[in-house]
Structure 1
Amino acid sequence: MFRTALRNVLAHKARLLMTVLAVMLGVAFVSGTLVFTNTISEAYQKSSAKGFDQVDVAIQPEYREGEGDKVGERRKLTHALLEKAESVPGAKSALGVVGGFTALGDKDGKLIGGGFQSQGGNYWGSHDPRYPIREGGRAPRGADEIAIDSETAERAGYKVGDTIPVSVDGPVVTPTITGIFTTDDGNVAAGGSLALFDTATAQKLFHKQGEYDEIDVKAAAGTSQAQLRTALDKVVPADVASTITGRQLADDQAEMIAANMSGLKNGLLVFAGIALFVGTFIIANTFTMLVAQRTKELALLRAVGASRRQVTRSVLVEAFFVGAVAAVGGLAVGVGIGAAMRALIGMVGAAIPDGPLVVTPGTAATALLVGVLITMLAAWLPGRRAAKIPPVAAMSSVHAQATTRSLVVRNVIGAILAGGGAAVVLYATTLDGSDGQAPMGLGAVLLIIGVFVLTPLLSRPLIAAASPVLRVFGVSGKLARQNSVRNPRRTAATASALMIGLTLITGMTVMAGSLQTSIDKMAASSIKADYVVSMANGNLLVPDVDKKLAATEGVTATSPLRNSPSRIEGETEYLTGVNGSTIGRLTDLTIEDGAFEVGGTNIVVDEGTAKYHGWKAGSSFTVAYEDGAKQKLTVAGVYAGNEIMRGVLLDNATLTPHLKVPSDPADMQVMVKTSAGASDATKSRLEKALGDNPGIRVQDRQDISDGIAQIFTLMLNMLYGLLAMAVIVAVLGVINTLAMSVFERSQEIGMLRAIGLDRRAVKRMVRLESLVISLFGGFLGIGLGIFFGWAAGELLASKMATYELVLPWARLAVFLLLAATVGILAALWPARRAAKLNMLEAIKAE
């Protein structure tokens, strides 16, 4: 039986090619994902580990949680503590670390790097072992000097002696570059920037005068990290700071990088799984047809003594060889995909640390295991079905058609699954937000499986609906319709592969379009301000920004939004300070209860916060501010919160005196209303008033909406690319089905040619059959996708009041056109093969 299986594989090389390709693509996706994520992860881990070479023990500040009316606070690491740490036995040296967001501008004043990746810090003394300065440069000294990393200098064309626009928290300064250094910092490797000042300047810029974010201690020769840590623990107050070894820091960083990469890895593997799932249809289809063509051969084997188990085993052995070949090829292609993905990241500007391509034994084993198991699993059912056919029945081919009973059972099961799945999805839409995610996922899986099981039943009426159009093509059209429904199970399996891909693409497109519209509506309905000004990374602005904007020509109203922690009813609650006299002209929030009145001790709160605390209009409560002072506030109104505006709003005149540093309040953002409204000229005037600051964003309502929606657009584009793999596999499935169909109908096609059907008509018949099958899968996929997009939107609507379903008809038409294109392209080779059949040889073929 083993030799028989091997001979069958070699005898059907061409017919198994599509199966090999389908499995190979899926395996390539899996192995490529593993190679790519392992390579990136190891590169970052090695890079971050180098950053801890100069750290044997780090002293980190403790955070004291708020209790009662006291607000939580981060403890301070002082210079006195640094000197104490440096003097412990076994310590060679100690350096203080301070840093934060630092925007560097290029020679056109535009931000270098991106938001959170633009960092700054301190250069320790005249020599800092962490940042070797290139020859010709020196350490920065004083407020007018700076050192920048070599990657940033190269990208922006800076050299020692140039001045560079810099912004930390608002004002733009132009220090001179005194040094260019090299670094293994992961942010720089990822395309960000790093700027260094002398310690005193850094502490002043980052509002940490006389304190450090961390103290790094280097051990003397002969002292281990554990010994140094024990010595430091004796002098470092436990309620002020904690100690951690450099080795542990590196391990923690490696774990964090691995955890961050696991999200990307799992996301990519989901789509690899989809491609493999779609591929199983092709594999099952191929082996079903191969087994059907060899029914008499298998019956003869049964007649001469082969058992059912041996017949099934022979089919599985064939599948094993096919899966093994596909898996090896997929692994090789996957390594190439991993390398290409890493190169692609570099091409779009998101550089990563250098490192070798990582192909682990686990990756190779996973690729081989996935390829072989998927193929054997898909081939098991056709093999088992063939083994159950009695030899006499197989010899007379009475088994060829599915029995009425089996079709009824299949349809009943399909109806139960589809109906149950739809019911679960509809039930999930009645739940609140995250509570409905799990039921909806379960319902979606059941519904897709149910529709897949029902596709043979659905194929006849849906394909029959295309009859009027097919009649236009005469005999070719009529034959194409009949061939499409001749074997409903095969047609269904082929169409289902395309259906799954289009279901996912359509559902995500519907959701993305609806979200974009909802976000636009949210921005338009909640903000009257023409512009919102903020730091590029979301850091705090300084008060001067509000003053400069208020003094700008054409500005009619401004309101800084100022955040401060507080304690309310024993819990931490953040307060948002606003300009009580102007906030009503800058926002358009829907009032659910009371009035929008902010001033003195009157506040407004969003409905979520009000519900949590049991407040309503007229309610009063006592707040403990950041400075410990207490005050009684009254809820004047409750408004409908959203992603743009929510929380407790009170007048800045009430809040500011109770900030930790009342003389130096910091704003999250500033809302601006102008007499001329939003325009390029107005935006340019505001940017100029702020000194063309590279770290500050001036955004109108559309910019805000686009910024929120950008992440959805980026994800959608990535998903389109990933799901393209499933569509490619579906194309192979259509080609495979048509090629097998042509082979099976060789005698029939020969007869048609003999009675007058020319080659062009034969080609048209095969192409129309392919088009009908593809459009059948396309209509099912788009229909299911719209349903899932609506259902997922209902979940979002419970959290987003402005959500509304928007059907992107233009894109849906493109998807249907894509399905038709798939059918046309997939039919090219089978149609040409059918037309070239020798009619006499085809007629006498058995």
Structure 2
Amino acid sequence: MLRITLAQMRSSAGRLAAAGVAILIGTAFVTATLLASGVITRTTYDAVTARYADADLVVSATSDAPLTPAQVADVDALGDVEATAVMDYVGVALVGGSRTVYQSVVGVVDDRLQPLEVTSGALPAADDEVALPTDVAERLGVAVGDGVGVETWSSETGEPATTTFTVSGLVADPSGAFMTTGGAAVVSPATFDTWLADQWGGEPQVTELAVALADGADVAAARGEVADAVGGTGREVVTTDERAEAVTADFTGGQDLMFLVFTLTFAAIALLVAGLVIANTFQVLVAQRTRTLALLRCVGADKRQVSRGVLTEAAILGVVASVAGVVLGALLGQGALWVAHAMDVPVPLPATITLTWQAVVLPVAVGTLVTVLSALVPARAATRVAPLAALRPADAPSAVRGAGKVRLVLSVLATVAGFALLAGGAALGLADQPGPGLLAGVAGGTLSFVGVAVGAVFWLPKVTAAAVRLVGVSGPTARLAGANTLRNPRRTAATSTALLIGVTLVATMSTGAASARESLTSALDDQYPVDVTVSSAEYDEEGNPAALPDTLVGQVAGTDGVARAVPVTSFSPQITWPGSEDEPYWPQAVGVDPGAGRDVLRTDGLAELAPGTVLLPSWTVPTGADTPATVTVTVGDESLELRAVVAPVEAWGAVLSAADTAALTGGTPTTDLWVGVADVASADDVVPTLQDVVADSGVVADVSGAAVERASFEQVIDTLLAIVVGLLAVAVVIALIGVANTLSLSVIERRRESATLRAIGLSKAQLRGMLAIEGLLIAGVGAVLGIALGLVYGWAGSAAALGIMGDVSLAVPWLDVTLVLLVAVVAGLVASVVPARTALKASPVEALAAE
């Protein structure tokens, strides 16, 4: 029987190839996901530990109980310790010509603990030398051997002091160790200790220490010795991987497996759709082999042998396709790493993938299991072929049994209950209960989708019939095509369902991402209503921000890409209200002209600002108390009674009008600028230009750009959307293979009917057109219904997940859904090409002849 099975596989190689491609894509997806999870985990760990270089241990301490120099020396003196390095850094102002740049600084350390790479010159050897990041040197216009001013704060004098240092070299940060601080400059250990002591206001104290052990040292034993040397509460000694794991857990909220689960879900979807395609493919094979199976029964094969032959064929196909999928997935993973390295991605990616047994065994096992399970129903159908079928002319069998009532009831209950849960989840999300809302939404979406898919055999044929009536008006060929799609409603429903699943998920994620983009952008507008802020970083004797010169204000306003620059005054008033005189509120307040401020903000946060009014954040009001009608605002000897309004935007401690600010402070010096960018998408260009303008002015000011964060956020959302849609597109591609298989089965079942049509005058072009319309109907119905369901799920999911952020904007990703529909329709037409060639191979006389 095995030889017969292998012979049948050779004769049906073309048909099996389609099913093999479906399972190959699914298993490649699983393999790539498992490999990607390993790469991401390792990359994340390497990115976190990059600043520790080749350290073996990391000592962490709190700012309340930092390590003292004596404790650092004790660790350094341990026998197994080869080197130590302070991981803290200090901030200084670097001055080159008329430019000033703030920069983080570290000290020279042992080569094993140095993550920076010298690209020119050398690391500092003297106390008056500094090595600068290459981009900082370019911005300051200095090179190796030039002098650069370094402004630091002296704890002895209590005033800033500027010293000239010699640039000893230029450094790069290839591993991204100081990515969050824009790189790091390097000074001698003695200089660094002095600056660190000034930062602490006394002796240098350390909150993080990297430790490199001697080769062959027992890490566990050395860890205990280091812990004894720094003993005390609030101090911890861990390995670098443990440190990375802890930091990663903080970033992800402890959900380290979220990415793996997320992507494996898409792999499961791809395999589910592949299973539907495989089931249809084996139905095609059984239909093709009706007479062969009957002959086997005639010569003595029993039902078990026939069924076992089909399942053996499925198992062989599953193993071969799954192994090929593992190879393809590994090649895709390695190719992705090559591309990432070629694009110079600024993260420490490994050079090669690491194949684990899970990434090899699991995809093969899952792929084979899915293939065998998908072949169970066709195998059962094969056992129903009677021996007499080999002795008489007959068309291939067609399963036209109606679906059971139990299935109908269960699908209706699941659909109704699921959509009710989905609606409840959306309502809870909008009611500021995202946790229960998201849980109910996910449960409702899953349950309703299962109900829709299980009940598709009942309602999809009716929807298809409606579509048939629409296309039937174009002529008899279209009416024949429509009738053919309804001939076997169970198989048509299965194929459309496969496409429905893929398209629904693509539309859901596209809709959710589009809604999230608009909703979260609106939330960012509320949180960061100003595109760019230029703030004075110098202070007067009373601790108030120093005024920015008028020349800088004009230069910022005239910068390309800047739509408007509004002067703002920062000051620190005292605010009291009845009953709070003993506990006054000391906010960092801003004063601004109401009209100009409203013009530059991206929200209506200053709608109620006017002379005589102060905007206060809601958290300033005592718990359980009502917002006071008036408050007293005091600066020095001046006080004003102002009407209090809870600010809709809580980005500032308090907001007053420029007129009230002048009355309280005696003037409105420009300590900050609120800058509006003409096009947020160009913020990446505008903000560096503004930083150059400020650096050229010689004014010590900080330039921070919420517009850059917004643009980066939108870029991340777009990138994630592209990745997710790309992942789900795999399921759509697999489903479209199923459309071709369904048309092929339809051609086999209607071989004699097609010949009759040809005999009575149907041309080859008309027969091709009939099959093309069939493919169009199957693919079009699945795609349109999938898009409709995807919009509902996407909107409901957005409401459930994003309600906590305020108003949820429900968006329709027109470009994405149009592209999905277009691809499905075109693919449905292309899928009809091969079946049409099969239908036209035999002449009408040959097809009508009795076999």
Same fold (TM over 0.5): yes
Q: Could you say which residue in structure 2 is the equivalent of 1:494?
A: 495
* Offset of residue 212 of structure 1: 2.8
What residue identity is the alignment partner of 1:604? P
| 1:330 aligns with one of 325, 328, 331 | 325
What residue identity is the alignment partner of 2:510? T
Q: Could you say which residue in structure 2 is the equivalent of 1:21?
A: 21
Q: Could you say which residue in structure 1 is the equivalent of 2:568?
A: 558
Which stretch shows the higher mean deviation, 174-183 or 729-738? 174-183
- Equivalences for residues 39-118 of structure 1 within 5 A: 39=39, 41-42=41-42, 55=55, 57-62=57-62, 74-87=64-77, 93-99=83-89
Judge conservation of contact 2:67–2:206 (CA < 8 Å) in 1.
Answer: yes
Judge conservation of contact 1:770–1:827 (CA < 8 Å) in 2.
Answer: yes
> SS in structure 2 opposite 1:557?
strand
> SS in structure 2 opposite 1:349?
coil
CA distances 1:210-265 after superposition (whole Å, capped 9, x unpaired): 23342344557896444444444444240363334568658878999998874443
Alpha-carbon spacing, 1:94–1:332, altered in 2? closer, same or farther (3 Å) = closer
Alpha-carbon spacing, 1:636–1:313, altered in 2? closer, same or farther (3 Å) = farther
Separation in 2, partners of 1:479, 1:270 = 40
> SS in structure 2 opposite 1:340?
helix
Alpha-carbon spacing, 1:308–1:94, altered in 2? closer, same or farther (3 Å) = same
> SS in structure 1 opposite 2:567?
strand
* Offset of residue 368 of structure 1: 1.0
Separation in 1, partners of 2:829, 2:216 = 75
Q: Could you say which residue in structure 2 is the equivalent of 1:274?
A: 269
Separation in 2, partners of 1:677, 1:319 = 57
1:579 matched to 2:592: no
Which stretch shows the higher mean deviation, 753-762 or 165-174? 165-174
Judge conservation of contact 2:148–2:164 (CA < 8 Å) in 1.
Answer: yes
Judge conservation of contact 1:39–1:356 (CA < 8 Å) in 2.
Answer: no
* Offset of residue 166 of structure 1: 11
CA distances 1:275-296 after superposition (whole Å, capped 9, x unpaired): 1121111011112333344456
* Offset of residue 455 of structure 1: 2.7
* Offset of residue 338 of structure 1: 0.7
Q: Could you say which residue in structure 2 is the equivalent of 1:242?
A: 236
| 1:733 aligns with one of 734, 738, 742 | 738
Q: CA RMSD in A?
A: 5.3
What residue identity is the alignment partner of 1:138? A
Note the residue ranges of structure 2 that are not aligned, 5 or more in a row.
154-159, 537-542, 558-564, 573-584, 632-641, 657-670
1:363 matched to 2:359: yes
- Equivalences for residues 195-214 of structure 1 within 5 A: 195-199=185-189, 200-201=191-192, 204=195, 207=199, 210-214=204-208
| 2:769 aligns with one of 764, 767, 770 | 764
CA distances 1:727-786 after superposition (whole Å, capped 9, x unpaired): 211221112222222233222222222221111111111111101111100111011011
Q: Could you say which residue in structure 2 is the equivalent of 1:417?
A: 414
What residue identity is the alignment partner of 1:768? I
> SS in structure 1 opposite 2:486?
helix
Q: Could you say which residue in structure 2 is the equivalent of 1:672?
A: 674
CA distances 1:333-358 after superposition (whole Å, capped 9, x unpaired): 11211112112323443153443332
Q: Could you say which residue in structure 2 is the equivalent of 1:539?
A: none
* Offset of residue 138 of structure 1: 2.0
> SS in structure 1 opposite 2:804?
coil
Judge conservation of contact 1:413–1:450 (CA < 8 Å) in 2.
Answer: yes
Judge conservation of contact 1:316–1:383 (CA < 8 Å) in 2.
Answer: yes
Note the residue ranges of structure 1 that are not aligned, 5 or more in a row.
63-72, 112-117, 536-541, 563-574, 622-633, 652-668
Separation in 2, partners of 1:166, 1:812 = 56
Judge conservation of contact 1:422–1:447 (CA < 8 Å) in 2.
Answer: yes
Q: Could you say which residue in structure 1 is the equivalent of 2:130?
A: 145
Separation in 2, partners of 1:358, 1:26 = 20
- Equivalences for residues 748-763 of structure 1 within 5 A: 748-763=753-768
* Offset of residue 33 of structure 1: 2.5
| 2:617 aligns with one of 596, 604, 615 | 604
Q: Could you say which residue in structure 1 is the equivalent of 2:578?
A: none
- Equivalences for residues 120-139 of structure 1 within 5 A: 121-124=105-108, 130=114, 137-139=121-123
Judge conservation of contact 1:550–1:558 (CA < 8 Å) in 2.
Answer: no
- Equivalences for residues 126-525 of structure 1 within 5 A: 130=114, 137-140=121-124, 141=126, 145-148=130-133, 178-179=168-169, 185=175, 187=177, 193=183, 195-199=185-189, 200-201=191-192, 204=195, 207=199, 210-218=204-212, 224-239=218-233, 241-244=235-238, 262-294=257-289, 298=293, 309-351=304-346, 352-387=348-383, 400-404=398-402, 406-431=403-428, 432-467=433-468, 469-471=470-472, 473-519=474-520, 521-522=522-523
Judge conservation of contact 2:506–2:729 (CA < 8 Å) in 1.
Answer: no
Alpha-carbon spacing, 1:433–1:4, altered in 2? closer, same or farther (3 Å) = same
Number of matched pairs: 770
> SS in structure 2 opposite 1:430?
helix
* Offset of residue 325 of structure 1: 1.2
Alpha-carbon spacing, 1:742–1:174, altered in 2? closer, same or farther (3 Å) = farther
Judge conservation of contact 1:97–1:121 (CA < 8 Å) in 2.
Answer: no
* Identity across matched positions, percent: 27
Q: Could you say which residue in structure 1 is the equivalent of 2:789?
A: 784
Separation in 2, partners of 1:366, 1:18 = 22
What residue identity is the alignment partner of 1:78? T
Judge conservation of contact 1:452–1:492 (CA < 8 Å) in 2.
Answer: no
| 1:690 aligns with one of 694, 704, 709 | 694
Judge conservation of contact 1:148–1:194 (CA < 8 Å) in 2.
Answer: yes
> SS in structure 2 opposite 1:276?
helix
Separation in 2, partners of 1:576, 1:746 = 87
What residue identity is the alignment partner of 2:378? P
What residue identity is the alignment partner of 2:121? G
Separation in 1, partners of 2:40, 2:611 = 51
Judge conservation of contact 1:171–1:690 (CA < 8 Å) in 2.
Answer: no
Separation in 2, partners of 1:711, 1:172 = 41
* Offset of residue 793 of structure 1: 2.7
CA distances 1:291-330 after superposition (whole Å, capped 9, x unpaired): 3444565567668776655544333212101101111111
Alpha-carbon spacing, 1:638–1:303, altered in 2? closer, same or farther (3 Å) = farther
Alpha-carbon spacing, 1:172–1:498, altered in 2? closer, same or farther (3 Å) = farther
Alpha-carbon spacing, 1:398–1:26, altered in 2? closer, same or farther (3 Å) = closer
Alpha-carbon spacing, 1:546–1:516, altered in 2? closer, same or farther (3 Å) = farther
Alpha-carbon spacing, 1:700–1:246, altered in 2? closer, same or farther (3 Å) = closer
What residue identity is the alignment partner of 2:418? G
* Offset of residue 163 of structure 1: 9.2
Separation in 2, partners of 1:828, 1:157 = 66
Alpha-carbon spacing, 1:189–1:592, altered in 2? closer, same or farther (3 Å) = closer
Separation in 1, partners of 2:30, 2:549 = 54
Separation in 1, partners of 2:212, 2:688 = 50
Q: Could you say which residue in structure 1 is the equivalent of 2:581?
A: none
Separation in 2, partners of 1:171, 1:737 = 81
